[in-house]
Structure formats: structure tokens, C-alpha cells
Chain A
């Protein structure tokens, strides 16, 4: 079974600064996918970014990028030029590709952007 660990329950950062949220996971799978989801106070679950384990290149989506270290089983999220709208819970999630697709979530990091 897979496990996902987010060791930072809460973080805060000044607006416009850069912040990195950490995530580690444990799996015996060789082929898998990793995701970051954002849950603002509105309760929606919004996909932020997705990474295929077989790709060495780190995924980026505008101000969001990941640092994927497969050997270390680490998948951190970097948010550049943070904005007030980035205030949310951030969940790291592990997905298996075939036949038994489900997301295994970490416990989340509550990120607050300070004006």
C-alpha cells in the first residue's frame, strides 16, 4: 500500500514571496502519478499540477512547479510570487495508473498568504 506524508501542517508566507511545500511518499510501484490539489476555504478540490513518475522533467504550471526526486520519493511544490488567492489547504496525492485507480492523499498543509 502507498503512503503519502506531508510534514508541514501549517505554513505562512508574505505575499509575493516564494514558498515550498514538502511531500514524501512510499511505494513499491515503478509507474505512478503524483498530484498537488488545492482546497481553498470554499471547499472545492482544485488540481494544481500533475507529474508522471516516468518523466524526469519537473512539471510546471505558471507560478507552480514541482521538484520531483524519484529516488528519494520526494515531490515538493514551489509557489512563486505568492498571491492572496493561494491561501488554501494543499494536498499531495499519489495515483496508480492501471486497474485500481484511486488517489491516496497526504494529510495536507494549510498555507496562509499574508498581505
Chain B
């Protein structure tokens, strides 16, 4: 068990409101990731982090920002939610300190976000 907790598990919000999703790990892994999962698209990387205050963009980062002020917490913020951001969001960690290497990703149970 990689000890990953995502909160909230479900969220309904209105268009234009800010939303923050939280990912917490009980280990001290360096690399953390935020993905979104949509039918027909699989998992797409939003942002990732390789240490405290060290983050970078993934393939679908527009409209999202992230922060990592502590090793164990990685926050994803939708500054002004839109209906296109309705999705299931997954946090993941890599056991490798060098990023992907040969280590698999371990996933949280996801946050289902609905933007109305």
C-alpha cells in the first residue's frame, strides 16, 4: 500500500468557481503526479512534481495550477472551473527518486469532479 489519500472523493461545483483537490502521501516519495481520466482518452498528465516547490506541466495543464509546499502534499487547483474539466482526477506517486525509471506508478482512488 503506497499510502495515497485523495480528497475530496466527490465534488460538484459551479462554472467559474475555484476548486482545490488534495493528494497526500504517507511515504517520502519525490515524484508526484496529477492525471485526469476521461472516456476515450485514457489517462492524461496535468502536472507533476519532482520535489518541494518543484513542479512542471504535463500535456493538459491549461486551466490548472499545482503547489507542493511539503513533500507529502500535492495540491491541484482549478482557478475557474469549466464544464470541460468535469472528469475523474487521479494522483499518483513513483517510488523512484529518478522519476519513472523502472518503478511503477501507485495511484490514489481518485476524485470525481462535476462542474455544472
Q: Do A and B bind each other?
A: no
Which B residues have a C-beta under 8 Å from some C-beta of A? Answer: none
Which A residues have a C-beta under 8 Å from some C-beta of B? Answer: none
